Structure 1
Amino acid sequence: MPHRHPRLKVLFAGVITVLSSHPLPAQPPATRTSPTVDTYHGVDVVDNYRWLEDWNDAEVKRWSEDQNAHAREYLDGLPGVDAIRKRVTEIMTAQHDSYSGVRFAAGRYFAMKSQPPKEQPFLISFDSLGDLDNARVLFDPNVVDTEGTTSVDWFEPSPDGSLVAISLSSGGSEVGDVSVFDCNSGEKVFETVPRVNSGTAGGDLAWAPDGKGFYYTRHPRPGERAEVDLNFYQQLYFHQLGTDSADDRFELGTDFPRIAEIEVEVHHQTGRVLCNVQNGDGGEFAHYVRRADGRWMQFSRFGDKLVQATFEPSGDILAITREDAPRGKIVRISTLTTKGALIEPLIPESEDTIVTSFYRAPPSLVATEDRIYVTYQLGGPSEIRVFDRDRNALAKPKQLPISSVGGLEPLSGDDILFYNSSYVDPTLWFHYDASDETTIKTPLSSESPVDMSDVRVTRQFAVSKDGTKVPVNIMRPASAEGPGPLVLYGYGGYGINLTPRFNASNKVLLENGVTYVVANLRGGGEYGEAWHLDGNLTNKQNVFDDFYAAARFLIDNGYTTSDQLAIMGGSNGGLLMGATLTQHPDLAKAVVSSVGIYDMLRVELSPNGSFNIPEFGTVQNPDHFKAMRAYSPFHNVTDGTNYPAVIFFTGANDPRVDPMQSRKMTARLQAASTSGLPVLLRTSANAGHGGDSGLSQKIEQVVDTCAFLFHHLGVTVQQPPSTDPADRS
C-alpha cells in the first residue's frame, strides 16, 4: 500500500524558492515507444511504455540514469539553489533533540531519539522522565552504517525491561530482521530472527510473560514459497530465545488471506495472546485470542465491523466496533467460548470519530486500572478523552488548540504519557497525572529551531462538487495580504487522518510570504468510516473533486491565483497529484509528486499492489475497472496539453509503490506536454518510500523541491534571521 498507520510518510511540508529568469530546460532524454494492448472487459487499452516496468532491463536503468542526469542539470542550474540549501540545511540540522515511540516497561523508559545532524534516529533507555541526561544508547544505526541507510523499523522491550527486540532494515527496503539487545550492556545477545517485517505486510512482535521468547510475524523464507510470494502469506510464530528460528513454533495463519497483516499483543498476567489480522489495507479485520492452554479461538471475522481490540489490565478485551456505529463505539468482551463472545456495550458512538490504530502505530485506545483513554478525531485535529469504568466522562488532559495527540503509553496506576503537536508547536510529551488530573510537560518535549509565533492558523471549509464540506487548514504568514504564493497539500485514502503536525522547514515557506494549506479529503478517516468509504473503490473520484474544490476555494477567496498555486502530495497523495493535473491541467502552476501511483490498471500486479485492492479495487471487477480507468493518471494524459511544471520523486528500493509508476508517468507527460515547462524524474538509488531515508537524503530532496517548485511560483528569497546562536551574538 502506499501508506498505512502509522507510516503516513508526508515527505514535504514546506520549502522555499527564488524569482529568476531561468531558461527553459533542455529536451528530456528520448523515450522510445513500444505499444502493448490489453483488453479489459471488452475495452482495448494501449500502453506505449510497458517496457519501462522492468528494472532488471539494462535499457531501463540507462533511461533512469539519463533522466536523473537531466533533472540534476536543470535543478543544479536554478539560481539561488546554494542559498536555499544553506537555509534548509540550517533548519533541518539545527541542534534540537526530539523523541518518538516512547515505551514504558518495568520502571524503564525506551524511546527513539532524533539528534540532527545524525542521519537516523537511535534507540535509548532511561529510568526517569526527568533524567534524560543519563539516558543510555541501546542501539545507534549511525554507528553501524555511517551512510545512514540502516534504520530501526520498530522496537519492543521485554516485560521486565531487560531486553529489547529491534527490527532493522536497510536501503529503504523495510525488510526487517529482528535482533535482541541487552538493555544493561547494550550488546546484541541471542540469535537474529529473519524476515519479521516487510514493506508490504509490515510486522509485529510481542514478548511472552517470562521474557524468554516472543510471538512474531513470519514471512515465508526463500524456498518455502515462490519468489513472488515471499512478501505475502504472513503468519504468526513463536520463537524461544537461544534456539534456531528454523525450529520456531507455528501459532496461527494457515487460513489467513495472502495479503494478511498481523498485529499481536500478550497479556502478561494471564499469558493470553491477542491477534488482530487485517485483510490487506481496506480496513476489514478478524480477531483471535490464544488461551492459556494454547488453543486459539476466533471472535470476529472479516466484515464484522470490529476493527480494533486490546487487553484490559483484568485480561478482558476492549474493542472498537463500527456495527451500527460508523464513527465507532467501544465494547467489552469478557467471555469467550466456542459458542461465541459475550459483548457488553461500554462507550457509545458520539458526534466525533474514535481513532483506530494498526501497523505498530501507538495505540489510540488504552485501558488502565480504573480509566479508559480514547482518542477522537475532530475532522483533522484530534484529542484524548477519558472515561471511568461506569462509562462516565472524566476531565481530559490539557491539549493545544487545533492540534493532534497520540503516543498513548500507560504508566503506573492510571497515569499515561502522550504527545501533542500542532502546525506551529513541535511535539510536546506530557505526563497526565490521573490522581489530581494535571497535565505535566516532560523533558521529552522538543524545542523548535524556528519561531512560529507570527503564523496565523485557521480552519475554513470548501464545498465539493456534491455539496460535501471539506476542511481546509491554512497556515498564513501574519504579514500576508491578498493573493500570493500558496502550497496546497492533500492525501485522501486508507482511512488515514491528516492531523496537524509540526515541521520546522515550513518556516522557510512562511518567512518568504508563502501560505501552506492542508486539505482533509474524503478517503481519510477524519469523519469516520463513511468519510473513508466515500473516497475509496468506485467513489475515488470524490477525493479528486474535494481537492479541486479546496484549490478553487483558496483562489476564489483571494488567498492565491492559479499562477501562484502549487500542489503537493506523496504515495496515495501522488495519485491525487496525477489525477488533479490530468483532470485540471490549468489549475496550478507547479506540481510536486512523490512515490506516487499513476497506472491504476497495472498497480495490483506489483508486490504491494495486492494489498491495495481493498482500497482501490481490481481490474478483474468491471465496475472497479471502469472507475479506475476513468481517473487513472497515466491513461488520461492528453497529447498537446499545456501541463504545469512537474517533478516526480521515487526511490529505487520502494517496497510500497513500484518505481515503475513514476517512470511511466514521466515518459507519458514528457511526450504529451506542450507548455514548455519541465517534467522531471528524480530517482534515489539507495532509498525506498521515504520514511527511512537518512537526514542528508531528506535535506537534498527538500532543496530540490524548493528550488524547482518556488522558482515557478515567482517567490523572491528573503534573508531570514539565522538559527545559529553564534550568528546572533
Structure 2
Amino acid sequence: GEGGFTELLYEFDAIYTFVDNEGDTFYFMTDLDAPMGRVISVDLNAPERENWREVVGETSDSLRAVSMVGDMFIATYVHDAYSRVKVYAMDGGYVRDVKLPGLGNVMGFEGEQGDPETFYMFMSHIDPGAVYRYDVEADETKVFRRPKLQYDSEDYSTEQVFYASKDGTRVPMFVSYRKGLERNGKNPTYLTGYGGFNIPSMPRFSVRNLLWMEMGGVYAQANLRGGGEYGKEWHEAGTKLRKQNVFDDFIAAAEWLIENGYTDTPHLAISGRSNGGLLAGACLVQRPDLYGVVLPIVGVLDMLRFEKFTVGRGWVSDYGSVDDPDEFSALLAYSPYHNLVPGTEYPPTLITTGDHDDRVFPAHSFKFAAAMQAAHAGGAPVLIRIDTKAGHGGGKPSAKLIEEYTDELAFIVENLGVEC
C-alpha cells in the first residue's frame, strides 16, 4: 500500500510463528524468553520490541500450535508426550481445557476469528481416531466423521509409564498391547523411538502396529531427549555433545521392559526411522547383547560424513559438525559405522533404504551393511533391503508400503520365533 511495509521481526534470536491479527495487532507464538512457548502481540503502530506484550504466558507444557477461532485462542500443548488443548480469551485469560477422548494426539482447530465452530482429528496408538466438531462458545464436542473398521479398539490397551535413564532423567514411554496380556517375561516386543530435531513422538495409529498387537505383540514407544516433548531444554539435552543421552534413554527403555516382565532379550526387537535409524544403529553397536532383532530404517549411520551428502548440512544444528574438534570427538564416539567391532556376534539385523533417498543418502545403509557383515562373527542374518524407485518414505504408494511392512514384520517374526 501507500504506507509501505512495517518491519516486525528482524532478528533470528527465537522461533516466531504467525497466529493471526486483529486489526493492527499481530499475534505470534514464540519461544523468546520462554523455552516452553508463549503468545505475544505486536502493535503495528508501535512495533519496537520494548512494546511487545505477552498475551498467553509460558506454562509447564510445551506449546506446539495456536489458532484464533470464535474470538478465542485455542492452544495445543504437549503434556508428557500427549496432547492437551486449552482455550484462552483474547486478553490471554484462561477459559477452559478442551476435553479430549483420551491419551492421544490432536491436529486441527483451524478457522477464522468469527467462526462458531472448528474441527480437529484425534488418534491414539490403538484408535485411528475420528474427526470431531468443536463448538467454541458452548464447549461441546461431537463426532463428525469416524472410519468404519473391522476391529474393536476396546480390545486393546495403552499405558504410559515412566522410567529412569542412565543419569536419572525421568523418561516417558507408551506401552500398547491386546488386553489380557500376561507379563511372562517372554512377550514379543517392538520398541521404537526417535529423539531428535525437537519433534515429539506423539501417539499415532498404525495398521502395522495393530497387526503386531493382534499377533500377541507389545508395541512400545519411548519419548527420548532430543525430541520436542518437554520444550527447548529437553530438545537440546539430546543434541551435539549430549547426543549420547538419546541412546542412553533408549537402552534404559529396553532394560525397563525386560526388568518389568514384558519381554526378554530373545523376544525384543528395536527399530527406528531416519534419525531413529541412527538411534537403532547406535544402540545396536553399543549394546548388541540387549536385543533379539534390530531394524535401522533409512538411518543416518556414518556420522563423520553425513553433512557431505544431499541435505545433511542442515542437520548440523542437532548433530554438530566434524569441523568442530569437540563435536568431531562426540560424533566419532557414537557413529554406528565407525563403532562396529570385528569379531562381535551381532543380533539379527535388517537394514533398509531406498535407492533414490535424497534425504538420507542410501550410502549410509550400504556402507553400514557391508561393514557389519564383515565384522559379524555369529550366524544370525545381517541383511539389507534396498527398495527400488523409492526415496525416504514420504509419499510411498500403498503397494510399496505393504511390501515394506510385510518384509519387516516377517523378519521380526522369524527371528523372534513369534507364533502367528
CA distance in 1, matches of 2:353, 2:45: 47
Equivalent pair of 1:419/1:428 in contact (CA under 8 Å): yes
Q: How does 1:546-561 map to 2 (within 5 A)?
A: 546-561=249-264
User: Which of 91, 103, 124 lines up with 1:390 in the alignment?
Assistant: 91
SS at match of 1:453: helix
Contact 1:313 1:368 in 2 (8 A): no
Residue identity opposite 1:576 in structure 2 = L
1:534-592 Cα shifts (integer Å, max 9, x gaps): 00111100000000000000011111101110001100000001100000011101011
- Contact 1:299/1:336 (<8 A) preserved: no
Matched, 1:451 2:160: no
> Is the aligned partner of 1:699 residue 2:402?
yes
Report the AA paired with residue 168 of structure 2. G
Structure 1's 551 and 708: CA in aligned 2 closer, same or farther, altered over 3 A? same
1:485 deviates by: 1.0
Q: 2:315 is matched with which residue?
A: 612
Secondary structure of 1:505's aligned partner: helix
Matches within 5 A, 1:5-404: 293=3, 295=5, 297=7, 299-302=9-12, 304-314=13-23, 316-335=25-44, 340=49, 342-355=51-64, 364-404=65-105
Partner residue in 2 for 1:442: 144
Deviation at 1:697, TM superposition (A): 0.1
CA distance in 2 between partners of 1:329 and 1:655 (Å): 35
C-alpha separation between the residues in 2 aligned to 1:452 and 1:415? Answer: 28
Deviation readout 1:390-412 (Å, 9 max, x if unpaired)? 22222333312111111232155
Matches of residues 641-656 of structure 1 in structure 2 within 5 Å? 641-656=344-359
- Structure-2 change in CA distance of 1:372 and 1:312 (3 Å): same
Cα distance in 2 for partners of 1:501, 1:488 equals 14
The match for 2:242 is 539
* Distance verdict in 2 for CA 1:410–1:679, change over 3 Å: same
Q: 2:111 aligns with which of 405, 410, 420?
A: 410
Distance 2:218 2:179 in 1: 10
CA distance in 2, matches of 1:562, 1:639: 22
Matching of residue 519 in structure 1 with residue 222 in structure 2: yes
1:428 is matched with 130
Structure having the higher helix fraction is 2
CA contact (8 A) 1:426 1:447 kept: no
TM-score by length of 2: 0.95
Q: Where does structure 1 lack aligned partners over 5 or more consecutive residues?
A: 1-290, 356-363, 718-729
- Secondary structure of the residue aligned to 1:576 is helix
Task: Give the letter for the 1:515 counterpart.
Answer: V
Amino acid at match of 2:258: I
The CA deviation at 1:704 is 0.3
**Structure 1 contact 306–319 (Cα < 8 Å) conserved:** no
- In 2: Cα distance, 1:554 partner to 1:309 partner: 42
Task: Work out whether 1:460 is the aligned partner of 2:161.
Answer: yes
Q: What is the rounded CA distance, in whole Å, between the counterparts of 2:10 and 2:148 in structure 1?
A: 44
Q: Equivalent residue of 1:299, what SS?
A: coil
Q: 2:207 aligns with which of 492, 504, 507?
A: 504
For residues 691-716 of structure 1, give each alpha carbon's deviation from its aligned partner in whole angstroms, at most 9, with x where no partner exists.
21000000000110111111111111
Q: Is the 8 A contact 1:651 1:686 kept in 2?
A: yes
Contact 1:491 1:569 (8 Å CA) reproduced? yes
Work out which of the residue numbers 174, 179, 192 in structure 2 matches 1:473. Answer: 174
Name the SS for the 1:704 alignment partner.
helix
Deviation (angstroms), 1:307: 3.6
Q: Any conservation in 2 of the 1:335–1:342 contact (CA below 8 Å)?
A: no
Name the structure 2 match of 1:419: 121
Match of 1:395, SS state, is strand
1:499-522 CA-partner distances (Å, limit 9, x unpaired) = 111122322211221111000000
Deviation of 1:296 after TM superposition, in Å, equals 6.5
Output the amino acid matched with 2:54: P
Give the Å deviation of 1:446. 2.7
1:368/1:452 Cα in 2 relative to 1: closer, same or farther (>3 Å)? closer
Runs of 4+ in 1 over 4 A off after TM superposition: 291-294, 336-341
Check conservation: 1:307, 1:322, Cα contact below 8 A.
yes
Residue 526 (structure 1) shift = 0.4
Kept in 2, the 8 Å contact 1:335–1:341? The answer is: no
Contact 1:568 1:592 in 2 (8 A): yes
Q: What is the aligned-residue RMSD (CA, Å)?
A: 1.7
> What is the distance in 2 between the residues matched to 1:521 and 1:456?
22
Compute the TM-score of the two structures, normalised by the length of structure 1.
Answer: 0.56
User: Could you tell me how far 1:295 is from its partner in structure 2?
Assistant: 3.6
Question: 2: distance between equivalents of 1:663 and 1:640?
Answer: 20
Distance 2:252 2:45 in 1: 49
Q: Residues of 1 paired with 2:71 and 2:5: CA distance?
A: 30
SS at match of 1:432: strand
Q: Structure 2 CA distance, aligned partners of 1:573 and 1:306?
A: 24
Q: Who is 1:144 aligned against?
A: none
SS of residue in 2 equivalent to 1:686: coil
CA contact (8 A) 1:313 1:369 kept: no
Asked if structure 1 preserves the Cα contact closer than 8 Å seen for 2:27 and 2:41, the reply is: yes
Whichever residue aligns with residue 33 of structure 2, its letter is D
**Cα distance, 1:300 vs structure 2:** 4.0
Does the C-alpha gap of structure 1 residues 522 and 629 become closer, same or farther in structure 2, counting only changes over 3 Å? same
Count of aligned pairs between the two proteins: 417
Aligned counterpart, 1:160: none
Question: Match for residue 690 of structure 1?
Answer: 393
Query: Which residue of structure 2 lines up, in the alignment, with residue 622 of structure 1?
Result: 325
Deviation at 1:450, TM superposition (A): 2.6
Task: For residue 679 of structure 1, report the CA deviation from its aligned partner.
Answer: 1.3
Q: Call closer, same or farther: CA 1:292–1:519 in 2, change over 3 Å.
A: farther
Instruction: Specify the code of the residue in structure 2 equivalent to 1:608.
Output: V
Look up the equivalent residue of 2:53 and give its one-letter code.
E
Q: Equivalent pairs: percent with the same residue? A: 37
Q: Distance in 1 between matches of 2:107 and 2:366?
A: 37
Whether the 8 Å CA contact 2:164–2:252 is kept in 1: the answer is yes
Shift of 1:324: 3.0
Structure showing greater radius of gyration is 1
- Residues 692/293 of structure 1: CA separation in 2 closer, same or farther (3 Å cut): farther
